Amino acid sequence: MPSTPWTRPDTSTRPIAVIGGGVMGRRIAMMWIASNFTVILCEKELQSGNAVKYVQEHEAEQAGLQGTEPAELKATTSLQEAAGNAWMVVEAVPEKLELKIDLLAELDKITPPDCIIASNSSSLRSSQMIVKTEKNYRICNGHYYMPPDQTYFELMSCGHTDPDVFPFLMEKATQAGFKPVHAQGDSTGLIFNRIWASLKREILLVLAEGVSDAQTIDDMFKSWFKATKGPCLMMDTVGLDTVYNIEVVYSQQRQMDTTAMKWLKENYVDKGNLGAKAGKGLLG
């Protein structure tokens, strides 16, 4: 790859911007803050304060585990305020390609040229999001799972990412308590989510066909794999609307069977039964 103008940004005086304070955004923000990285959390609406509350309730405990002091959390509705001087922006908005394309285009204009723009998308490739951007040498996938319980952090190039971004970001992520891994090829779903998606799809088919119920599936899964959580609980925790949006991506890009996706939409998403955040999901 030809040389790019990217240089390592100063992480000691500049913040991380997390765009989106949903289930994942607030967890990502909490982990970085607990490791003494200043974070500005940007949401369209901050009235509920749920994301800020989550960070405040968990940052001290996580910092204690890591032997660090929590940094400052700032919250704003202004994208310019959040990202204008950031050394990294974490895109954590819903799993909709057009939304991410437009957001990355705006971030590409307002962030410093050395700022890393990392999409937390669990299925979409950052190479699909750069149709309106110019400084693609600092754009990549930076996908988190469910920290602090699951701390793997997957990195993947948009096809133009400066190779030096990856060791730098892996170093910083390790400092923040993550386990970084580098996906070496362009992949829908990155590494583990490609495997996890097929498991989720089959579980939804078992439920759709009335073969079993969610609790039985979770009990058997935990017994077989010595897991602390079952897959239905994990889907409820992430949000069934997010599970559905991810399935839409797979069906479009990998020509997957849509039976489970349609059943989930008709029986849960359309009825507002989105899992833990709605008080009702696969586990009732």
- By the 8 A CB rule, do 18 and 42 touch? yes
Arithmetic mean of pLDDT, 213-219:
98
CA distance 246 to 231: 15
Match 């779903």 to its residue by tokens.
189
- By the 8 A CB rule, do 268 and 281 touch? yes
Residue 284 lies in a domain: no
Domain boundary among 127, 153, 183: 183
Residue 125's domain comprises 16-183
> Do both 52 and 130 map to the same domain?
yes
- Residue 47 pLDDT greater than 80, yes or no: no
DSSP 38: -
Say how many residues make up the chain. 284
pLDDT of residue 46: 63
List phi, psi (to 5°) of 142.
Answer: -135, 85
> Do both 51 and 151 map to the same domain?
yes
DSSP 148: T
Residue 10 lies in a domain: no
Residue 254 lies in a domain: yes
> Do both 53 and 173 map to the same domain?
yes
> How many Cα atoms sit within 13 Å of 27 on the Cβ side?
20
Residue 188 lies in a domain: no
Residue 27 lies in a domain: yes
List phi, psi (to 5°) of 75.
Answer: -130, 140
Which SS3 state, helix, strand or coil, does residue 31 take?
Answer: helix
Percent of the chain past pLDDT 70, that is, above it, reads: 98
Residue 238 lies in a domain: yes
Parallel/antiparallel/unpaired status of strands 73-76 and 88-91: unpaired
Percent of the chain past pLDDT 90, that is, above it, reads: 89
Which helix (H) or strand (E) is 65 found in, with range? helix 50-66
Report the CATH number at residue 204.
1.10.1040.10
> Do both 54 and 92 map to the same domain?
yes
> Do both 43 and 167 map to the same domain?
yes
Which SS3 state, helix, strand or coil, does residue 139 take?
Answer: strand
| Tens digit of each residue's pLDDT (9 = 90 or more) over 164-197 | 999 999 999 999 999 999 999 999 989 998 899 9
Per-residue pLDDT band at 284 (split at 50, 70, 90)? confident
Residue 21 lies in a domain: yes
DSSP 205-232: HHHHTTS--HHHHHHHHHHHHT-SS-HH
Domain boundary among 153, 183, 213: 183
> Do both 206 and 94 map to the same domain?
no
Report the CATH number at residue 105.
3.40.50.720
DSSP 124: S
pLDDT of residue 254: 84
List phi, psi (to 5°) of 13.
Answer: -120, -5
Structure-token pair, residue 190: 């990155």
> Do both 25 and 133 map to the same domain?
yes
CA distance 275 to 284: 8
> Do both 252 and 129 map to the same domain?
no
As a whole number, the mean pLDDT across the chain is 95
> Do both 163 and 76 map to the same domain?
yes
> Do both 125 and 221 map to the same domain?
no
Per-residue pLDDT band at 263 (split at 50, 70, 90)? very high
Name the domain count of the chain.
Answer: 2
